[in-house]
Chain A
Amino acid sequence: MQIYLPIADLPVNVFVILAMGLAVGFISGMFGIGGGFLMTPLLIFLGISPAVAVASVTGHIAASSMSGAISYWQRRAIDLALAFMLLAGGIIGTAFGVWLFTTLRAIGQLDVTIGVSYVLLLGIVGALMVAESMRAIIRARQGKPVELRRPGSHTWIHGLPLKLRFKRSRIYVSAIPVWGIGFIIGFVGAIMGIGGGFLLVPMLIYVLRVPTATVIGTSMVLTLVTMASATVMHAAVNHLVDALLALFLMVGGVTGAQFGARAGQKMSGERLRLLLGLLVLAVGIRFALNLVVPPETFYSVRAVDGDI
Protein backbone atom coordinates (compact mmCIF):
# COMPACT_ATOMS: atom_id res chain seq x y z
CA MET A 1 0.00 0.00 0.00
CA GLN A 2 1.57 3.28 -1.16
CA ILE A 3 1.06 6.41 0.85
CA TYR A 4 2.25 9.92 0.01
CA LEU A 5 4.35 11.50 2.76
CA PRO A 6 3.38 15.16 3.12
CA ILE A 7 6.76 16.59 4.16
CA ALA A 8 9.15 14.13 2.53
CA ASP A 9 7.12 14.75 -0.68
CA LEU A 10 7.24 11.24 -2.01
CA PRO A 11 5.15 8.08 -1.82
CA VAL A 12 6.39 5.13 0.21
CA ASN A 13 5.09 1.65 0.89
CA VAL A 14 3.49 1.65 4.36
CA PHE A 15 4.43 -1.98 4.98
CA VAL A 16 8.09 -1.33 4.21
CA ILE A 17 8.13 1.51 6.77
CA LEU A 18 6.29 -0.59 9.36
CA ALA A 19 8.66 -3.52 8.78
CA MET A 20 11.67 -1.24 9.18
CA GLY A 21 10.16 0.09 12.39
CA LEU A 22 9.61 -3.47 13.64
CA ALA A 23 13.14 -4.62 12.78
CA VAL A 24 14.88 -1.62 14.29
CA GLY A 25 12.47 -1.73 17.26
CA PHE A 26 13.40 -5.37 17.85
CA ILE A 27 17.09 -4.48 17.96
CA SER A 28 16.48 -1.44 20.15
CA GLY A 29 14.40 -3.47 22.62
CA MET A 30 17.02 -6.20 22.69
CA PHE A 31 19.94 -3.89 23.44
CA GLY A 32 18.13 -1.10 25.28
CA ILE A 33 19.07 1.55 22.71
CA GLY A 34 17.00 3.91 20.55
CA GLY A 35 18.13 2.48 17.21
CA GLY A 36 18.32 5.83 15.44
CA PHE A 37 21.79 5.02 14.09
CA LEU A 38 20.17 2.20 12.09
CA MET A 39 16.89 3.90 11.19
CA THR A 40 18.28 7.12 9.72
CA PRO A 41 20.51 5.35 7.14
CA LEU A 42 17.63 3.00 6.22
CA LEU A 43 15.34 5.95 5.50
CA ILE A 44 18.02 7.67 3.43
CA PHE A 45 18.38 4.42 1.49
CA LEU A 46 14.61 4.55 0.74
CA GLY A 47 15.14 7.89 -0.98
CA ILE A 48 14.03 10.18 1.83
CA SER A 49 16.29 13.22 2.05
CA PRO A 50 18.84 13.01 4.92
CA ALA A 51 17.47 16.17 6.51
CA VAL A 52 13.88 14.89 6.65
CA ALA A 53 15.09 11.46 7.82
CA VAL A 54 17.12 12.89 10.71
CA ALA A 55 14.29 15.22 11.77
CA SER A 56 11.56 12.56 11.62
CA VAL A 57 13.52 9.79 13.33
CA THR A 58 13.71 11.92 16.48
CA GLY A 59 9.96 11.34 16.98
CA HIS A 60 10.37 7.61 16.51
CA ILE A 61 13.14 7.43 19.12
CA ALA A 62 11.07 9.50 21.56
CA ALA A 63 8.24 6.96 21.26
CA SER A 64 10.40 3.88 21.79
CA SER A 65 12.24 5.43 24.75
CA MET A 66 8.87 6.43 26.26
CA SER A 67 7.64 2.83 26.20
CA GLY A 68 10.98 1.63 27.62
CA ALA A 69 11.10 4.32 30.29
CA ILE A 70 7.65 3.36 31.61
CA SER A 71 8.67 -0.23 32.24
CA TYR A 72 11.90 0.87 33.98
CA TRP A 73 9.91 3.39 36.02
CA GLN A 74 7.66 0.58 37.25
CA ARG A 75 10.78 -1.33 38.32
CA ARG A 76 12.07 1.80 40.10
CA ALA A 77 15.23 1.66 37.98
CA ILE A 78 15.42 5.34 37.02
CA ASP A 79 17.56 7.98 38.72
CA LEU A 80 15.46 11.07 38.05
CA ALA A 81 17.91 13.47 39.72
CA LEU A 82 20.73 12.26 37.48
CA ALA A 83 18.47 12.37 34.43
CA PHE A 84 17.56 16.02 35.15
CA MET A 85 21.20 17.03 35.55
CA LEU A 86 22.10 15.31 32.27
CA LEU A 87 19.13 17.05 30.67
CA ALA A 88 20.33 20.50 31.65
CA GLY A 89 23.35 19.88 29.42
CA GLY A 90 21.31 17.90 26.92
CA ILE A 91 18.87 20.69 26.05
CA ILE A 92 21.71 23.13 25.36
CA GLY A 93 23.50 20.48 23.32
CA THR A 94 20.34 19.80 21.28
CA ALA A 95 19.75 23.48 20.56
CA PHE A 96 23.38 23.86 19.49
CA GLY A 97 23.07 20.72 17.36
CA VAL A 98 19.90 21.92 15.58
CA TRP A 99 21.60 25.26 14.90
CA LEU A 100 24.71 23.59 13.45
CA PHE A 101 22.47 21.23 11.44
CA THR A 102 20.74 24.25 9.86
CA THR A 103 24.04 25.98 9.13
CA LEU A 104 25.69 22.92 7.60
CA ARG A 105 22.62 22.29 5.49
CA ALA A 106 22.82 25.83 4.14
CA ILE A 107 26.48 25.48 3.13
CA GLY A 108 25.98 21.98 1.70
CA GLN A 109 28.24 20.11 4.10
CA LEU A 110 25.51 18.32 6.07
CA ASP A 111 25.91 14.95 4.34
CA VAL A 112 29.65 14.79 4.85
CA THR A 113 29.36 15.91 8.49
CA ILE A 114 26.74 13.26 9.21
CA GLY A 115 28.95 10.75 7.39
CA VAL A 116 32.16 11.61 9.26
CA SER A 117 30.35 11.74 12.62
CA TYR A 118 28.85 8.31 12.03
CA VAL A 119 32.20 6.82 11.05
CA LEU A 120 34.06 8.25 14.05
CA LEU A 121 31.38 7.55 16.63
CA LEU A 122 30.27 4.14 15.44
CA GLY A 123 33.80 3.04 14.62
CA ILE A 124 35.22 3.92 18.03
CA VAL A 125 32.25 2.78 20.11
CA GLY A 126 31.81 -0.41 18.07
CA ALA A 127 35.49 -1.35 18.28
CA LEU A 128 35.61 -0.70 22.04
CA MET A 129 32.48 -2.76 22.62
CA VAL A 130 33.68 -5.68 20.52
CA ALA A 131 37.09 -5.70 22.25
CA GLU A 132 35.59 -5.45 25.73
CA SER A 133 32.97 -8.15 25.21
CA MET A 134 35.46 -10.50 23.50
CA ARG A 135 37.75 -10.19 26.53
CA ALA A 136 34.80 -10.92 28.83
CA ILE A 137 33.76 -13.97 26.79
CA ILE A 138 37.32 -15.36 26.67
CA ARG A 139 37.67 -14.84 30.40
CA ALA A 140 34.39 -16.66 31.01
CA ARG A 141 35.56 -19.56 28.75
CA GLN A 142 38.78 -19.90 30.71
CA GLY A 143 36.77 -20.00 33.89
CA LYS A 144 38.44 -16.92 35.36
CA PRO A 145 36.30 -14.77 37.62
CA VAL A 146 34.86 -11.59 36.12
CA GLU A 147 37.20 -8.69 36.73
CA LEU A 148 35.44 -6.30 39.05
CA ARG A 149 36.04 -2.60 38.91
CA ARG A 150 37.08 -1.46 42.36
CA PRO A 151 34.41 0.93 43.58
CA GLY A 152 36.95 3.07 45.39
CA SER A 153 39.14 3.78 42.34
CA HIS A 154 38.96 7.49 41.54
CA THR A 155 39.98 9.34 38.40
CA TRP A 156 40.49 13.05 37.79
CA ILE A 157 36.74 13.25 37.07
CA HIS A 158 36.10 12.77 40.75
CA GLY A 159 38.35 15.67 41.68
CA LEU A 160 36.14 18.27 40.01
CA PRO A 161 34.18 20.75 42.12
CA LEU A 162 30.36 21.22 42.38
CA LYS A 163 29.84 17.76 43.78
CA LEU A 164 26.34 16.33 43.99
CA ARG A 165 24.94 13.16 45.54
CA PHE A 166 22.62 11.03 43.42
CA LYS A 167 20.76 8.80 45.86
CA ARG A 168 19.17 6.20 43.63
CA SER A 169 22.43 5.54 41.76
CA ARG A 170 24.48 5.81 45.00
CA ILE A 171 27.12 8.03 43.40
CA TYR A 172 28.73 11.31 44.48
CA VAL A 173 30.16 13.21 41.51
CA SER A 174 30.75 16.69 40.19
CA ALA A 175 27.97 18.26 38.12
CA ILE A 176 30.45 19.32 35.40
CA PRO A 177 31.03 15.92 33.73
CA VAL A 178 27.30 15.20 34.08
CA TRP A 179 26.43 18.39 32.17
CA GLY A 180 29.20 17.67 29.68
CA ILE A 181 27.91 14.19 28.89
CA GLY A 182 24.36 15.56 28.57
CA PHE A 183 25.61 18.23 26.15
CA ILE A 184 27.46 15.72 23.97
CA ILE A 185 24.45 13.40 23.77
CA GLY A 186 22.01 16.22 22.94
CA PHE A 187 24.38 17.67 20.34
CA VAL A 188 25.17 14.38 18.65
CA GLY A 189 21.51 13.36 18.70
CA ALA A 190 20.29 16.51 16.96
CA ILE A 191 23.00 16.41 14.29
CA MET A 192 22.85 12.72 13.52
CA GLY A 193 19.23 11.86 14.27
CA ILE A 194 20.20 9.34 16.91
CA GLY A 195 19.20 9.08 20.52
CA GLY A 196 22.75 8.38 21.55
CA GLY A 197 21.79 5.54 23.89
CA PHE A 198 24.65 3.39 22.61
CA LEU A 199 26.98 6.26 23.52
CA LEU A 200 25.37 7.36 26.78
CA VAL A 201 25.24 3.95 28.45
CA PRO A 202 29.00 3.29 28.25
CA MET A 203 29.76 6.90 29.30
CA LEU A 204 27.55 6.62 32.36
CA ILE A 205 29.10 3.29 33.31
CA TYR A 206 32.77 4.07 32.68
CA VAL A 207 32.99 7.81 33.36
CA LEU A 208 30.43 8.41 36.08
CA ARG A 209 30.48 4.84 37.51
CA VAL A 210 26.66 4.68 37.54
CA PRO A 211 25.55 1.16 38.59
CA THR A 212 24.14 -1.05 35.83
CA ALA A 213 20.77 -1.28 37.62
CA THR A 214 19.83 2.35 36.95
CA VAL A 215 21.86 3.07 33.84
CA ILE A 216 19.47 1.96 31.07
CA GLY A 217 16.33 3.42 32.64
CA THR A 218 18.04 6.75 33.26
CA SER A 219 19.45 6.81 29.74
CA MET A 220 15.95 6.19 28.36
CA VAL A 221 14.47 9.13 30.27
CA LEU A 222 17.23 11.37 28.94
CA THR A 223 16.75 10.07 25.39
CA LEU A 224 13.00 10.62 25.67
CA VAL A 225 13.32 14.26 26.66
CA THR A 226 16.19 15.17 24.29
CA MET A 227 14.52 13.47 21.34
CA ALA A 228 11.07 14.96 22.08
CA SER A 229 12.64 18.43 22.28
CA ALA A 230 14.71 17.75 19.16
CA THR A 231 11.43 16.93 17.36
CA VAL A 232 9.95 20.27 18.45
CA MET A 233 13.11 22.21 17.55
CA HIS A 234 13.52 20.54 14.15
CA ALA A 235 9.85 21.27 13.42
CA ALA A 236 10.17 24.89 14.55
CA VAL A 237 13.46 25.70 12.81
CA ASN A 238 13.69 23.48 9.74
CA HIS A 239 10.03 22.46 9.14
CA LEU A 240 11.28 19.04 8.15
CA VAL A 241 9.54 16.65 10.55
CA ASP A 242 7.25 14.31 8.63
CA ALA A 243 4.62 13.39 11.22
CA LEU A 244 3.11 10.66 9.06
CA LEU A 245 6.48 8.99 8.51
CA ALA A 246 7.25 9.32 12.23
CA LEU A 247 3.90 7.74 13.13
CA PHE A 248 4.47 4.63 11.00
CA LEU A 249 8.00 4.25 12.36
CA MET A 250 6.73 4.62 15.93
CA VAL A 251 3.97 2.03 15.59
CA GLY A 252 6.40 -0.50 14.12
CA GLY A 253 9.16 0.47 16.53
CA VAL A 254 7.30 0.17 19.83
CA THR A 255 5.85 -3.20 18.76
CA GLY A 256 9.22 -4.58 17.71
CA ALA A 257 10.81 -3.32 20.92
CA GLN A 258 8.52 -5.51 23.05
CA PHE A 259 9.63 -8.68 21.27
CA GLY A 260 13.24 -7.55 21.19
CA ALA A 261 13.26 -7.01 24.96
CA ARG A 262 12.04 -10.56 25.51
CA ALA A 263 14.68 -11.99 23.15
CA GLY A 264 17.38 -9.94 24.84
CA GLN A 265 16.61 -11.32 28.28
CA LYS A 266 17.48 -14.84 27.07
CA MET A 267 21.04 -13.88 26.15
CA SER A 268 24.11 -13.34 28.29
CA GLY A 269 25.33 -9.78 28.78
CA GLU A 270 28.70 -10.27 27.06
CA ARG A 271 27.18 -11.93 24.03
CA LEU A 272 24.61 -9.14 23.76
CA ARG A 273 27.34 -6.50 23.94
CA LEU A 274 29.41 -8.36 21.32
CA LEU A 275 26.45 -8.50 18.92
CA LEU A 276 25.66 -4.83 19.43
CA GLY A 277 29.33 -3.92 19.03
CA LEU A 278 29.52 -5.82 15.72
CA LEU A 279 26.34 -4.14 14.51
CA VAL A 280 27.60 -0.68 15.43
CA LEU A 281 30.95 -1.41 13.77
CA ALA A 282 29.28 -2.70 10.59
CA VAL A 283 27.20 0.46 10.20
CA GLY A 284 30.33 2.55 10.85
CA ILE A 285 32.29 0.70 8.14
CA ARG A 286 29.40 1.16 5.71
CA PHE A 287 29.58 4.92 6.24
CA ALA A 288 33.37 4.93 5.95
CA LEU A 289 33.15 3.23 2.54
CA ASN A 290 30.70 5.93 1.41
CA LEU A 291 33.21 8.65 2.22
CA VAL A 292 36.34 6.98 0.89
CA VAL A 293 35.19 5.12 -2.23
CA PRO A 294 34.87 7.45 -5.24
CA PRO A 295 31.16 8.23 -5.67
CA GLU A 296 29.22 7.12 -8.75
CA THR A 297 28.11 10.66 -9.41
CA PHE A 298 30.22 13.61 -8.36
CA TYR A 299 27.34 16.04 -8.58
CA SER A 300 24.26 16.43 -6.41
CA VAL A 301 21.36 18.84 -6.54
CA ARG A 302 19.41 20.32 -3.67
CA ALA A 303 16.54 22.77 -3.52
CA VAL A 304 16.89 25.72 -1.17
CA ASP A 305 14.07 27.66 0.37
CA GLY A 306 14.76 31.32 0.63
CA ASP A 307 17.99 33.00 -0.38
CA ILE A 308 21.53 32.06 0.17
Chain B
Amino acid sequence: MRRRSLAAVLAGFAALIASALPAAGERLVASLSNHRVMITSNFVGEELVLFGGIEQDAASRPRRAGYDIIVTVTGPRQTMVTFRKERMLGLWVNADSRVLDSVPAYLAVLANRPLDAVTNTETLRRLQLGLDNIPLLQRASINIADAASDDPFRVAFIKIKTEQGLYREISNGVTFLAPALFRASIPLPAEVPVGTYEVDVRLFADGVQIARTPAPFEVYKSGFEQVVTAAAREHGVLYGLATAMMAIVTGWFASVVFRRN
Protein backbone atom coordinates (compact mmCIF):
# COMPACT_ATOMS: atom_id res chain seq x y z
CA MET B 1 0.00 0.00 0.00
CA ARG B 2 2.70 2.45 1.07
CA ARG B 3 4.90 1.30 -1.81
CA ARG B 4 2.15 1.97 -4.33
CA SER B 5 1.55 5.48 -3.02
CA LEU B 6 5.31 6.05 -3.09
CA ALA B 7 5.41 5.06 -6.74
CA ALA B 8 2.45 7.32 -7.52
CA VAL B 9 4.06 10.27 -5.78
CA LEU B 10 7.35 9.72 -7.59
CA ALA B 11 5.56 9.50 -10.94
CA GLY B 12 3.76 12.73 -10.11
CA PHE B 13 7.07 14.39 -9.40
CA ALA B 14 8.60 13.31 -12.66
CA ALA B 15 5.66 14.89 -14.47
CA LEU B 16 5.84 18.04 -12.36
CA ILE B 17 9.54 18.51 -12.91
CA ALA B 18 9.23 17.84 -16.64
CA SER B 19 6.42 20.34 -17.13
CA ALA B 20 7.72 23.05 -14.83
CA LEU B 21 8.35 26.45 -16.32
CA PRO B 22 11.92 27.66 -16.49
CA ALA B 23 12.83 29.92 -13.56
CA ALA B 24 15.90 31.53 -12.21
CA GLY B 25 17.82 29.35 -9.79
CA GLU B 26 16.43 26.26 -8.10
CA ARG B 27 12.80 25.41 -7.70
CA LEU B 28 11.51 23.25 -4.90
CA VAL B 29 8.51 20.91 -5.18
CA ALA B 30 7.14 18.74 -2.38
CA SER B 31 4.17 16.48 -1.84
CA LEU B 32 2.85 14.35 1.01
CA SER B 33 1.82 10.69 0.86
CA ASN B 34 -1.50 11.66 2.47
CA HIS B 35 -3.15 15.04 2.82
CA ARG B 36 -5.91 13.94 5.16
CA VAL B 37 -5.00 11.85 8.20
CA MET B 38 -8.09 10.18 9.58
CA ILE B 39 -8.45 9.29 13.27
CA THR B 40 -10.68 6.25 13.55
CA SER B 41 -11.25 3.94 16.51
CA ASN B 42 -8.16 1.88 15.63
CA PHE B 43 -5.84 4.88 15.21
CA VAL B 44 -2.47 4.29 16.90
CA GLY B 45 -0.48 6.98 15.12
CA GLU B 46 0.77 7.27 11.58
CA GLU B 47 3.86 8.17 9.63
CA LEU B 48 3.43 10.59 6.77
CA VAL B 49 5.98 10.61 3.98
CA LEU B 50 6.99 13.82 2.28
CA PHE B 51 8.68 13.64 -1.11
CA GLY B 52 10.42 16.53 -2.70
CA GLY B 53 12.48 17.35 -5.71
CA ILE B 54 14.87 20.18 -6.51
CA GLU B 55 14.62 21.41 -10.03
CA GLN B 56 17.66 23.05 -11.58
CA ASP B 57 17.78 25.02 -14.76
CA ALA B 58 20.46 26.58 -16.90
CA ALA B 59 20.66 29.55 -14.55
CA SER B 60 21.48 27.49 -11.43
CA ARG B 61 25.04 27.54 -10.36
CA PRO B 62 26.68 24.26 -9.37
CA ARG B 63 26.55 23.80 -5.61
CA ARG B 64 29.82 22.63 -4.14
CA ALA B 65 28.44 21.40 -0.84
CA GLY B 66 25.16 20.03 -2.25
CA TYR B 67 21.70 20.82 -0.97
CA ASP B 68 20.21 20.84 2.53
CA ILE B 69 16.56 20.55 3.47
CA ILE B 70 14.83 21.69 6.67
CA VAL B 71 11.18 20.69 7.06
CA THR B 72 9.09 22.32 9.81
CA VAL B 73 5.73 20.70 10.58
CA THR B 74 3.52 22.93 12.74
CA GLY B 75 0.30 21.57 14.21
CA PRO B 76 -2.86 23.45 15.16
CA ARG B 77 -2.41 26.33 17.63
CA GLN B 78 -3.41 25.86 21.25
CA THR B 79 -3.26 27.88 24.42
CA MET B 80 -1.23 25.98 26.98
CA VAL B 81 -0.21 26.54 30.58
CA THR B 82 3.06 25.40 32.10
CA PHE B 83 2.88 24.92 35.86
CA ARG B 84 5.79 24.69 38.24
CA LYS B 85 5.45 22.76 41.48
CA GLU B 86 6.88 24.20 44.65
CA ARG B 87 6.83 23.04 48.23
CA MET B 88 4.14 24.75 50.29
CA LEU B 89 3.35 23.65 53.84
CA GLY B 90 5.21 20.42 53.09
CA LEU B 91 3.12 19.66 50.02
CA TRP B 92 4.14 19.89 46.39
CA VAL B 93 1.63 22.20 44.72
CA ASN B 94 1.48 24.11 41.43
CA ALA B 95 2.82 27.46 42.58
CA ASP B 96 3.92 29.35 39.47
CA SER B 97 2.66 29.23 35.90
CA ARG B 98 3.15 30.66 32.41
CA VAL B 99 0.42 30.91 29.81
CA LEU B 100 1.53 30.17 26.26
CA ASP B 101 -0.82 31.78 23.76
CA SER B 102 -1.45 29.92 20.51
CA VAL B 103 1.59 27.69 20.48
CA PRO B 104 1.76 24.70 18.13
CA ALA B 105 0.25 21.58 19.65
CA TYR B 106 2.57 19.58 17.42
CA LEU B 107 5.95 20.56 16.09
CA ALA B 108 8.48 18.55 14.13
CA VAL B 109 11.70 19.90 12.66
CA LEU B 110 13.33 17.49 10.23
CA ALA B 111 16.60 17.99 8.41
CA ASN B 112 19.17 15.98 6.51
CA ARG B 113 21.91 16.90 8.97
CA PRO B 114 22.16 18.85 12.25
CA LEU B 115 20.66 22.31 11.88
CA ASP B 116 23.83 24.13 12.91
CA ALA B 117 25.65 22.29 10.12
CA VAL B 118 23.10 23.47 7.55
CA THR B 119 23.47 27.14 8.30
CA ASN B 120 24.73 29.48 11.01
CA THR B 121 22.98 30.19 14.31
CA GLU B 122 22.06 33.71 13.28
CA THR B 123 20.16 32.52 10.18
CA LEU B 124 18.42 29.77 12.16
CA ARG B 125 17.27 32.35 14.68
CA ARG B 126 16.12 34.79 12.03
CA LEU B 127 14.15 32.12 10.16
CA GLN B 128 12.83 30.66 13.48
CA LEU B 129 14.09 27.18 12.65
CA GLY B 130 14.56 24.42 15.21
CA LEU B 131 13.12 23.83 18.68
CA ASP B 132 15.52 26.40 20.18
CA ASN B 133 14.31 29.18 17.90
CA ILE B 134 10.61 28.52 17.58
CA PRO B 135 8.68 31.51 18.96
CA LEU B 136 6.74 30.62 22.11
CA LEU B 137 4.99 33.62 23.60
CA GLN B 138 4.77 33.31 27.37
CA ARG B 139 2.51 35.29 29.63
CA ALA B 140 3.22 35.38 33.36
CA SER B 141 0.41 37.72 34.37
CA ILE B 142 0.35 40.87 32.25
CA ASN B 143 3.73 40.79 30.57
CA ILE B 144 3.86 39.04 27.23
CA ALA B 145 7.28 38.13 26.00
CA ASP B 146 9.02 35.62 23.84
CA ALA B 147 11.13 34.00 26.50
CA ALA B 148 14.83 33.54 25.99
CA SER B 149 15.71 30.07 24.75
CA ASP B 150 17.13 29.14 28.18
CA ASP B 151 14.07 30.30 30.16
CA PRO B 152 13.26 27.43 32.59
CA PHE B 153 9.54 27.42 31.73
CA ARG B 154 10.30 27.33 28.02
CA VAL B 155 12.88 24.57 28.43
CA ALA B 156 10.47 22.53 30.58
CA PHE B 157 7.61 23.03 28.11
CA ILE B 158 9.69 21.79 25.19
CA LYS B 159 11.03 18.90 27.25
CA ILE B 160 7.53 17.74 28.24
CA LYS B 161 6.18 18.08 24.70
CA THR B 162 9.21 16.14 23.44
CA GLU B 163 8.60 13.35 25.94
CA GLN B 164 4.99 13.17 24.73
CA GLY B 165 6.33 12.77 21.19
CA LEU B 166 4.55 15.94 20.12
CA TYR B 167 7.67 18.09 19.67
CA ARG B 168 10.75 16.74 17.99
CA GLU B 169 13.83 17.75 16.12
CA ILE B 170 15.25 14.98 13.94
CA SER B 171 18.57 15.84 12.36
CA ASN B 172 18.48 12.79 10.09
CA GLY B 173 14.76 12.99 9.30
CA VAL B 174 15.35 13.95 5.66
CA THR B 175 17.06 11.50 3.31
CA PHE B 176 18.39 12.38 -0.13
CA LEU B 177 17.50 9.60 -2.57
CA ALA B 178 19.37 11.34 -5.37
CA PRO B 179 21.29 14.66 -5.37
CA ALA B 180 18.01 16.50 -6.16
CA LEU B 181 15.39 14.14 -4.76
CA PHE B 182 14.61 13.72 -1.05
CA ARG B 183 12.12 12.13 1.29
CA ALA B 184 11.17 12.90 4.91
CA SER B 185 9.10 10.88 7.39
CA ILE B 186 6.77 12.88 9.60
CA PRO B 187 5.97 10.83 12.70
CA LEU B 188 2.47 11.45 14.05
CA PRO B 189 1.96 9.80 17.47
CA ALA B 190 -1.46 8.52 18.57
CA GLU B 191 -1.99 11.64 20.70
CA VAL B 192 -1.80 14.11 17.77
CA PRO B 193 -4.44 16.82 18.04
CA VAL B 194 -6.90 17.31 15.20
CA GLY B 195 -6.64 20.33 12.93
CA THR B 196 -4.64 21.79 10.07
CA TYR B 197 -0.90 21.16 9.95
CA GLU B 198 1.46 23.42 8.06
CA VAL B 199 4.51 21.87 6.46
CA ASP B 200 7.20 24.34 5.53
CA VAL B 201 9.96 22.90 3.33
CA ARG B 202 13.08 25.04 2.95
CA LEU B 203 15.98 24.43 0.63
CA PHE B 204 19.45 25.57 1.63
CA ALA B 205 22.66 25.63 -0.31
CA ASP B 206 25.95 26.83 1.10
CA GLY B 207 24.16 27.97 4.25
CA VAL B 208 21.70 30.21 2.40
CA GLN B 209 17.98 29.63 1.94
CA ILE B 210 17.29 29.50 -1.80
CA ALA B 211 13.77 28.13 -2.07
CA ARG B 212 10.73 27.39 0.05
CA THR B 213 7.42 25.58 -0.48
CA PRO B 214 4.40 24.67 1.68
CA ALA B 215 2.64 21.28 1.84
CA PRO B 216 -0.21 21.40 4.37
CA PHE B 217 -2.22 18.44 5.61
CA GLU B 218 -5.14 17.89 7.92
CA VAL B 219 -5.77 15.55 10.85
CA TYR B 220 -9.42 14.87 11.55
CA LYS B 221 -11.62 12.48 13.45
CA SER B 222 -13.97 10.41 11.37
CA GLY B 223 -16.97 8.17 11.81
CA PHE B 224 -17.73 7.13 15.37
CA GLU B 225 -14.92 9.20 16.92
CA GLN B 226 -16.15 12.31 15.15
CA VAL B 227 -19.79 11.72 16.15
CA VAL B 228 -18.91 11.24 19.82
CA THR B 229 -16.62 14.28 19.96
CA ALA B 230 -19.16 16.51 18.22
CA ALA B 231 -21.95 15.29 20.51
CA ALA B 232 -19.89 15.90 23.64
CA ARG B 233 -18.90 19.40 22.48
CA GLU B 234 -22.17 20.65 21.03
CA HIS B 235 -24.88 18.78 22.91
CA GLY B 236 -23.28 18.35 26.33
CA VAL B 237 -26.52 17.86 28.26
CA LEU B 238 -28.00 15.33 25.82
CA TYR B 239 -24.66 13.52 25.64
CA GLY B 240 -24.54 13.37 29.44
CA LEU B 241 -28.13 12.10 29.62
CA ALA B 242 -27.33 9.44 27.04
CA THR B 243 -24.24 8.33 29.00
CA ALA B 244 -26.23 8.21 32.25
CA MET B 245 -28.97 6.19 30.51
CA MET B 246 -26.32 3.83 29.17
CA ALA B 247 -25.07 3.33 32.73
CA ILE B 248 -28.57 2.60 34.03
CA VAL B 249 -29.32 0.14 31.21
CA THR B 250 -25.95 -1.61 31.66
CA GLY B 251 -26.59 -1.97 35.39
CA TRP B 252 -30.13 -3.23 34.84
CA PHE B 253 -28.96 -5.63 32.13
CA ALA B 254 -26.29 -7.08 34.45
CA SER B 255 -28.84 -7.74 37.18
CA VAL B 256 -31.04 -9.58 34.64
CA VAL B 257 -28.21 -11.62 33.13
CA PHE B 258 -26.74 -12.69 36.46
CA ARG B 259 -30.04 -13.28 38.25
CA ARG B 260 -30.00 -16.60 40.03
CA ASN B 261 -32.80 -18.89 38.96
Contact = CB atoms under 8 A, between A and B. Distances in A.
Given A234-B240, A235-B236, A257-B254, A11 B91 contact: no
Contacts of A112: 91-94
A243 B85 CA distance: 32
Interface in A236-291: 236-237, 239, 241, 243-244, 246-247, 250-251, 254-255, 257-258, 291
| Interface secondary structure of A, over-half rule | helix
A67 B256 CA distance: 9
A15 interface: no
B244 A228 contact: yes
Contacts of A231: 240, 243-244, 247
Interface stretch (B39-47, B56-64, B117-125): B39-47
A284 B22 CA distance: 72
Nearest to A113: B93
Interface in B28-69: 39-44
B148 to A, nearest CB: 17
Contact of A66 (B86, B229, B239, B251): B251
A308 B99 contact: yes
Interface stretch (A2-10, A75-83, A171-179, A207-215): A2-10
Given A3-B41, A227-B247, A298-B86, 18 more contacts: A6-B224, A62-B244, A63-B247, A69-B251, A111-B94, A116-B91, A232-B237, A241-B232, A246-B247, A250-B251, A255-B254, A292-B92, A294-B87, A297-B160, A298-B85, A303-B80, A308-B79, A308-B81
Contacts of A247: 246, 250
Interface residues of A, number: 64
Q: Chain B contact residues (Cβ within 8 angstroms of A): what range?
A: 35 or more
A59 interface: yes
Given A4-B190, A299-B84, A301-B82, A258 B254 contact: yes
B251 A299 contact: no
A299 B157 CA distance: 8
Contacts of A109: 93-94
Interface in A42-68: 59-60, 62-68
A7 B233 CA distance: 10
Contacts of A233: 240
B79 A307 contact: yes
A142 interface: no
A70 interface: yes
Contacts of B190: 4, 10-11
Contacts of A300: 82-83, 85, 94, 160
B52 to A, nearest CB: 31
Contacts of B173: none
B145 interface: no
Contact of B232 (A116, A235, A297, A305): A235
